[in-house]
Amino acid sequence: MSLPARRNLIVHYHEIGLKGRNRSVFERALVTNLRRATSDLHDLHPKRLPGRILVPIPEGVDPAAVADRVGRVFGIANYALARGGIVDFDAICELAADAMRAAPFETFAVRARAAHSTFPMSAREINEKLGAWLLENVGGRVNLSNPDRTCRVEIVGDLVLIYADRSSGPGGLPVGVSGRVAVLLSAGIDSPVAAARLMRRGARCMFVHFHSQPFTDASSVRNALEIAGILTRYQYDSNLYLAPLAPAQQQIATECPEALRTVLYRRMMVRIASELAVRDGAAALVTGDSLGQVASQTLENLSVVEAASRLPVLRPLVGMDKIEIIAEAQRLGTFDVSSAPCQEACVLFEPKSPATRARLFDVERAERVLDVSALTTEAADAAEVRVIRFPPAS
């Protein structure tokens, strides 16, 4: 071994590798996000290598903590803690033995890969010779089709990395490569999952939460702040707008047909969110709507609500059922907060029998008694913005 074996995190991507001439843009974004995700642990310096990214871990930094942060970075297919460096075959054998002995196994395989390699042995030679050495010195039986444990050797130039344990990443694209969107963030289960799905496609999210204070308590705002904090772990900085809906609700409840209240509330929400989105540089709205889940989410009502928006409305959950959404919220880490009781804005002056198939003509006629433009501007101007960062500033 010509240099001491070093600790590294080796990161692989999948979808980024399909980007052709633009791949370097996505790789740079992923490197930036890796640095931001771990910025409070150490000023790490991820390195772009052919088809992968290497994150050297200095002495004194907990590798498990780095791996935990990296495991939430969108754009990563899988990652592994690896040992290695500029080493010879004897060192590879010793490092492979350490990696394989970390967990029991009966059968094993060796998988070596080389990219732009200057190492004196080919990947095939390493597979054969290292496999024979492990068979003699560590034990087990070789099974190339379905091994209990796999020793992986990656060679890039003169750098050799060895590991046997690999974790799946969240996949997708790095946050920031697909523009900016505005998420209508309730304190419930659905909209945080919708936000995470857009982040996974590379979009950066700003959040708009509507409250009905002083007619409701502050519980929905508290929950929304906590949910936004969890989501910010995946994109590192967020703007959360807390927009008052009560003035518009009061006028709608007083002057408009009761059955249309819910649809009218939601049309005001998308107008206000559109205004805030434009001010914040977002190009689309995102909602947690799932077709047919509640009265406001029938095809007719969704169409009527979307007609009030200045921007495209994206609905990443539209074809999912509640069980699927709950499972995703649990994986995301928002489910417990979203399940906590709170007073949401839409329950204020809620109609007893909401319209499930509202017609745009009827809705627009009902809105003629409202100063829609003034209500929209006043609510947007009154919105309070909270800036959330992860990791939080020390």
For position 367, which CATH number holds?
3.40.50.620
Across the range 84-94, mean pLDDT stands at 91
In the block, residue with structure tokens 């609510």: 379
Q: Are residues 85 and 156 in the same domain?
A: yes
* Per-residue confidence (pLDDT) for residue 2, from 0 to 100: 43
Domain finish residue from 135, 168, 201: 168
Across the range 7-33, mean pLDDT stands at 92
Residue 175 inside a domain? The answer is no
Across the range 110-119, mean pLDDT stands at 90
Across the range 233-260, mean pLDDT stands at 96
Other C-beta atoms lying within 10 Å of the C-beta of residue 208: 30
Residue 7 three-state SS:
strand
> Do 195 and 205 form a contact (C-beta atoms < 8 A)?
yes
Q: Give the pLDDT confidence of 73-82 residue by residue, as tens digits.
A: 999 999 999 9
Of the chain, the percentage scoring pLDDT greater than 70 comes to 98
Of the pLDDT bands very low, low, confident and very high (cuts 50, 70, 90), residue 1 is: very low
Residue 83 three-state SS:
strand
Domain enclosing residue 20, as ranges: 6-168
Q: Which pTM does this prediction carry?
A: 0.92
Q: Please determine, for residue 4, whether its predicted confidence score (pLDDT) is greater than 60.
A: no
What is the Cα–Cα distance from 44 to 62, expressed in whole angstroms? 12
Q: Are residues 260 and 115 in the same domain?
A: no
Across the range 309-319, mean pLDDT stands at 97
Cα distances (angstroms) measured from residue 237 to each of 67, 198, 216, 335: 20, 15, 28, 21
Q: Are residues 263 and 163 in the same domain?
A: no
* Per-residue confidence (pLDDT) for residue 222, from 0 to 100: 96
Q: Please determine, for residue 14, whether its predicted confidence score (pLDDT) is greater than 90.
A: no
Q: Spell out the SS3 assignment of 302-343.
A: HHHHHCCCCCCEECCCCCCCHHHHHHHHHHHCCHHHHHCCCC
Domain finish residue from 168, 192, 213: 168
Q: Please determine, for residue 3, whether its predicted confidence score (pLDDT) is greater than 50.
A: no
Q: Tokens representing 103?
A: 């967990």
* Per-residue confidence (pLDDT) for residue 348, from 0 to 100: 67
Residue-averaged pLDDT of the chain: 93
In the block, residue with structure tokens 């800036």: 387
Of the pLDDT bands very low, low, confident and very high (cuts 50, 70, 90), residue 177 is: very high
Q: Are residues 200 and 157 in the same domain?
A: no
What is the Cα–Cα distance from 354 to 369, expressed in whole angstroms? 20
Residues making up the chain, counted from first to last: 394
Q: Are residues 155 and 245 in the same domain?
A: no
Q: Are residues 192 and 73 in the same domain?
A: no
Q: Please determine, for residue 33, whether its predicted confidence score (pLDDT) is greater than 80.
A: yes
> Do 73 and 30 form a contact (C-beta atoms < 8 A)?
yes
Q: Tokens representing 62?
A: 């907990």
Residue 22 inside a domain? The answer is yes
Domain count across the chain: 2
